[in-house]
Amino acid sequence: MSRIDRDGHPSNPNHIFLTGGASFGVSLMLSMLISNDKSGILIPIPQYPLYTACLARHNGIPIPYYLDESKHWSTNPDEIDRAVAGAQSEGIEVKALVVINPGNPTGALLEEGVMRELVKLCEKHKLVLLADEVYQDNLHQKENHPFISFKKVVREEASNIPLVSFHSISKGATGECGRRGGYFELANVPEEVVELVYKMASVDLNLPLPGQVGVDCMVRPPQPGSPSYDLWKSETGVIHDALARRSTIMVERFNKLPGMSCVPAPGALYLYPRINLPEAAVQAAKDAGKEADMFYAHALLDETGICAIPGSELGQKKGEGHFRLTILCDGVEEYVGQLETFHRRFMKRYQS
């Protein structure tokens, strides 16, 4: 949809940059924000590793802030305040705040009140807000948990914080990451800086044509009354309904397993269960030179072929264990059934 339809506020086309996927835009903006080896960027933990990889590439400093699992993986402004204070005490210049909404790997969706607090926090600390919103069309509970863009909040708050929002064609209804297309939009960014962004973006020459077509289809879907609307609505509806059903089934079943709990995910394409493993399993992992959740994930892959990303690779508090699973697989009953069988066998194997 057009940005005015989504946000209630118009966009300046000269402030929108097409990219070969959102990742290019993220890397570009981070490279421009990092001015020296004391430049820091606030990133959520658990996180999508793109950010730490880009920061390492551009010699920036990741400043972690922890999401709150007890509040459905929401973002806690007080936690960000703590992270800013800690970084500044070490001589780090905090440049920007990254927020992934809906979340990856957690599937969390921020409430509007929290978003307004985050905008105020960026004002307080003079931060650029980097809003990774690539899962905005992947909503499993639209009635109770609608997506609200940060641009909408920034405009309604009459805030002057610099905002960069990212979107991509690789999620949504098809999720084909091989089709590289996306964009980022600037808001409250001075024109002289926009001109520099234009120069830097031009180094990439141009976005491949299929990506441009994909972005156009994403932001201008068929509207009611158009010849293709009914077919588009039916096909995308089937996909989104299937994702929502799988997410619900998996959460319910995971929460019945011993030593496992899973926060419901109203958005994105993932679940992020927590696992509390027996001491014998933790010791076996140490003996193998692995984190406990990595040890579990490797065993899961070996025995079932199910690939899960351990929380130790995505960031978590000391002593915790998690893993990320997608909700993309057809045959969810067989998929979950295999995981349940494996989990019970694994827990029994290491039960003292």
Q: Concatenated DSSP letters for 14-50?
A: GGEEEESSHHHHHHHHHHHH--STTEEEEEEES--TH
Task: Quote the percentage of the chain above a pLDDT of 90.
Answer: 84
Q: How confident is the model at residue 320 (pLDDT cuts 50, 70, 90)?
A: very high
> 194, 219, 244 — which closes off a domain?
219
Would 195 be classed as within a structural domain?
yes
Over residues 48-64, the pLDDT tens digits come to 889 999 999 999 999 99
- Look at residue 206 in the predicted model and tell me its pLDDT: 67
Residues 183 and 291 in one domain: no
pLDDT of 177 over the 80 cut: no
Domain, as residue range, for 340: 229-349
- The mean predicted confidence, pLDDT, of the chain is 93
Residue 10 vs residue 194, higher pLDDT:
194
pLDDT of 175 over the 70 cut: no
User: Which whole number is the average pLDDT over 252-264?
Assistant: 97
Q: What is the CATH number of the domain that holds 60?
A: 3.40.640.10
Task: Quote the percentage of the chain above a pLDDT of 70.
Answer: 97
Residues 204 and 291 in one domain: no
Nearest to 254 by CA among 107, 134, 127: 107
Residues 20 and 104 in one domain: yes
SS3 call for 189: coil
Residues 115 and 10 in one domain: yes
Residue 58 vs residues 23, 193, 230: alpha-carbon distances, Å: 14, 19, 46
Would 224 be classed as within a structural domain?
no
Q: How confident is the model at residue 1 (pLDDT cuts 50, 70, 90)?
A: very low
> 219, 249, 281 — which closes off a domain?
219
Residues 44 and 155 in one domain: yes
pLDDT of 207 over the 80 cut: no
Q: How confident is the model at residue 208 (pLDDT cuts 50, 70, 90)?
A: confident
Residues 65 and 33 in one domain: yes
- Look at residue 212 in the predicted model and tell me its pLDDT: 87
**Element of type H or E holding 82:** helix 77-89
Residues 74 and 206 in one domain: yes
Residues 141 and 275 in one domain: no
Number of structural domains, the chain? 2
- 102 contacts: CB under 8 Å, gap ≥ 6: 108, 109, 133, 135, 136, 138, 139, 147, 265, 266, 267, 268
Would 304 be classed as within a structural domain?
yes
Residues 249 and 204 in one domain: no
Residues 192 and 233 in one domain: no
User: Which whole number is the average pLDDT over 85-109?
Assistant: 97
Would 177 be classed as within a structural domain?
yes
- Look at residue 3 in the predicted model and tell me its pLDDT: 56
Nearest to 180 by CA among 192, 169, 172: 169
Would 62 be classed as within a structural domain?
yes
- Look at residue 12 in the predicted model and tell me its pLDDT: 93
pLDDT of 152 over the 90 cut: yes
SS3 call for 136: coil
User: Which whole number is the average pLDDT over 248-255?
Assistant: 97
Provide the pairing of β-strand 309-310 with 323-326. antiparallel
Would 336 be classed as within a structural domain?
yes
Residues 39 and 170 in one domain: yes
Residues 194 and 74 in one domain: yes
> 200, 219, 238 — which closes off a domain?
219
User: Which whole number is the average pLDDT over 132-151?
Assistant: 92
Over residues 279-290, the pLDDT tens digits come to 999 999 999 999
What pTM does this model have?
A: 0.94
Over residues 80-95, the pLDDT tens digits come to 999 999 999 999 999 9
Q: What is the CATH number of the domain that holds 235?
A: 3.90.1150.10
pLDDT of 251 over the 70 cut: yes
